């Protein structure tokens, strides 16, 4: 099972949660960013439908994979 960690950081004059190099929208307070990140982390555990997904890697290449609806990552928040 994959593990992902959302981090709370100062961003764009406020606070955001971040996953690797991707930032969320900005929040006025750190507490608001923590609440939003915890909501998003909890949603990672919800099973979905098995489907094909497309994504772009850091080198700009596109990939297509089959994503099992029950293969959900373990997610947490580092405030």
Residue 37: count other Cβ atoms within 10 Å of its Cβ: 26
**pLDDT tens, position by position, 10-66:** 999 999 999 999 999 999 999 999 999 999 999 998 888 999 989 898 899 999 999
Asked if pLDDT for residue 1 goes beyond 80, the answer is no
pTM here is 0.74
What is the C-alpha to C-alpha distance for residues 55 and 21, in angstroms, rounded to an integer?
15
């Amino acid at each position: 099972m994959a593990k992902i960690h959302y981090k709370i950081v100062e961003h764009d004059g406020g606070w955001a949660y971040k996953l690797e190099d991707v930032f969320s929208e900005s929040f006025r307070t750190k507490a608001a960013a923590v609440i939003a990140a915890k909501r998003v982390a909890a949603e990672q555990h919800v099973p979905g439908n098995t489907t094909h997904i497309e994504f772009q890697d850091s080198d700009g290449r596109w990939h297509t994979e089959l994503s099992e609806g029950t293969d959900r990552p373990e997610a947490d928040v580092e405030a």
